[in-house]
Every structure is written in structure tokens, then in C-alpha cells.
Structure 1
Amino acid sequence: MKAETFAKLVVLDTLLDAEVGYYLEHPSASDLFRERLVSGISDLVDQIDTLDAVAAAHSYDAIVDFLSELPERGGDGVVTAAIRFKRASERLVRRGMRRREMEQASTWAVVVDELLEALAAEYPRAVPSADEIRAREYLRAQLLLTRARNAAESMLGRLDGEGQPEFRSDLDRLTYAVRHQRPSPRAVELLIRAPQEYARSQRPTSISRVGGFVLRLLLRRSPTAGDSERSRGDRGAATGWRRRVEDPG
């Protein structure tokens, strides 16, 4: 499983958590809840399918199981179904991600980037104007921000590079804005830009992966001093052998 797929799965889990939270705070008919949930995550499942068809299939099965287990009304049944979905998602990640990949800062940088990208898309729907806040979308935005902060801590705990204080400060400014000030979508977009750029700078790049592969290949092929002597000896032996063949007398 690629880090990008893992990040999308984290976003999916976050959005489902937000939908469940909104349902628990604003109970409604299960059919309406199902409709809202499917409309809110269908595009994301399609994106996962583009990256990893197997992961998408397992996610789809978990979503179908979740929806089929929903009671007509009642918070306890929804919570139980949500917990089962989370356990299924965790099993999928354990099977798809190696432990060393989960310990890499670059993996969590991808998660931070994806969560901030999802927040940038969700916030305009949550606060379309200065005098309007949509509760369901705003809950989604807040939870995306919370998960982004959690992923950022996982990333920073594995980094020793510069820029961490600035990144933390940028993330704190974004948090105050979204949670308490609720500025315009354009203002939030600008606040997201700096921490997202930092996260993207920590992501693995195709160039670095190719470069690492080439370097390892060169190191394997690079001869040691002894190898060089043997190589010259082999070339000398080969030359002598050719001379004997060409001039047997």
C-alpha cells in the first residue's frame, strides 16, 4: 500500500467519524443518514480506487457492512457499527503498510498533506459566508483539522530538520482561526498554505526514490581495491590467453 492510499484511508475514517458524530448530536432517520454519508465519501472512495483497487474494495465492503448494520434509530447501534468499521480499516492498514513505513516521517507528511487538502475543500462548505455556519460541514472541518494536528505530531516526532517551530506556529494559527475566529474561506486557504508546503517538503519524491535505487546499484557495482586488483589480473590473464590462442607457437 502506498502512503497516498494510507492517507486517503485516514481521511475516509475521519469523515465517517464526523458523520457519526453529527448523527449522534442531531438524530435523524437512518435513510437520510445513509444518503448523507454516501454523498460525503463517494468521491474519496473513487480516489482510493484509482490508487489501490484492492484497498478500495475492502473499504467499500466495510462501508456496506457499516450501512447494513445501522438501526432505524438509536445512537448505540450507530456507535457499534462505526467501531466495527474502524477495526476493519485498521486491519486493512496493518496488512498493507509495513512497520518501517509507518515509522517514517515521510509517510505522516503525506497524511498531513491530504488532511489539510481535505480541510481546504471542506471549509468553504462549512462557512460559506460571514453570517452562516453549516453545522455538519463545520464538524467535518474541525475533525479534519484535529486529525491533521495528530498526524503532524507523528511526523515531527520522526524529524530532526529545521522549520519545526515555524510549522507548529503556522498550524496553531490555523487552529485558532478555524475553531474560534471562523474567517473567510480565502483567509483559511492562505493559512493552510504554509503548513501544507512544509508537509509537502517532507514527502517522498520519485526523484529521491530513483536516486536511492541508483546509488544502491552503484554501491553494489563499485569495486573495492582488492576487486580492482583482481579485475586487472583477470584482464591480464584474458589478454595472455588470447595471445596464446592467436600465437600457439
Structure 2
Amino acid sequence: MQFVADLHVHTVASGHAYSTVLEIARAAADRKLAMIALTDHGPGMPGGPHPYHFSNQVVIPAELFGVRILKGIEANVMDRDGRLDLDEGRLAKMDIVLAGLHTYCAPYGTVEENTTMMINAMKNPWVDVIVHPGNPEYQVDLEAVVKAAVRYDVALEINNSSLTVSRQGSAPYCHTLAGLAKTYGAKLIVGSDSHFALSVGDFGAAAALLAAEGIGPEMVLNTSLERIFAHLRRRTNRRHSF
């Protein structure tokens, strides 16, 4: 499976990542990617940037080294109502909005409580992708999550980092998620969740998982710029037109 974009990448602004925008863009160009999304954590994450960071992304060029740059966020879900850690005014100006449950931000709960929290985040009008929903730290009813993703037209991520260096124990949940996505027709993305430039565009473990589950490129948004643009265009009043 060929990927044209990495839609989940962190810069030094996240507080626990180690590369600059220029270093990341160069790495993406070396990987022959056509697009990356800068998705630093929201301000609710310890060490995360101030909300003004996201407003000021307008200063970043739309293209670097031949790679298109989307200005986004990995927002943190902060409570069981699905509230995110950036106001909707700023979220509306993002090219792409990822949202996820993270330690130190989202409360731990039962499977039912975690499921409700994740689905409530999907109801936010600006959320495009739920990241690492296979994280065993926040176990959810994966069938309910996949059905809700279809209902609210939100993509679900197969996170390569979860299968390699973080969120140990994610693999069986990600396999189940991929199988359910195939059954119900949910949109997927593959994200590197890169926190260092050399891992930008590293999708090896996630690609192997998708192959094992019989997932074709037509289900994965970041195998095609057209699929990415079509997904982002469903929000008609974004700052940019794609």
C-alpha cells in the first residue's frame, strides 16, 4: 500500500517531541510524501503550546520542499462530555483536527464511560479523525466506536507508533478495529504519530496490520490526496478550500 501523506506529526511545540517544522518537512520530502499535517498537542497536555500557537500557524508556508503543509492539532479530550482543549473558534480555522484520549488529560473510566467519551468527541463539528482508538489504556467498545465513526463521518486512525514504541498492547485492539472498519465501511487513516523527524512517514507496522486484515487503499484516506481533500471538504466553512 502506498501512502501520500502523514497526517499525524508532532514538532517541538508539543513539549515532548524533538524536531522542527523544517526538519519534519525535509524528512517528508526524503520519504517522497506529498503532504504532512502538523498536529501538535493542544494546551491541555503537560508542556503543550499556548492556544495562540495554533492561531499563529498562518505564518508557516503552505508548502516546503515540495511537501504540502496542513496546519492542524491533536486536540486532547478533557472530559466525558468529549470537550476538547481548544475553543471551537480556533478549531474552525485548522486545516485538520485530530482528537484523542491521553493520560493526564482524559479521565480514566469503564469501557462504557470511555466509549461515551470517545463518541462525544466525534460529535464535535470540527473533529476529522479520532487517533489511536485501539489504546488499551482507554478500552472502548470498538464496535460502537466504529459505528459512531460512520454515523458522524469521522475517520479512525491505525497508529504506527502504537504498534512499535508506545501504547504497548495496542495490536490486538487495532486488528479488531480494522476488521470492524472493513465490516461497517468506516474511513481509516494511518498515522506515524512521529515525535522525531526520522519517523515521519514510517507506516510499516500499520501497513502490515492492514494487509493482514484485508484492508485495501480505498478505505485509507492518506493513500490519496483526493480522498484526504474529500474528507476535509465535508466541513464547508474551513479557512482553506481544498
Query: TM-score normalised to the size of structure 1?
Result: 0.29
Query: TM-score normalised to the size of structure 2?
Result: 0.29
- Which structure's residues are more often strand, by fraction? 2
- Which structure's residues are more often helix, by fraction? 1
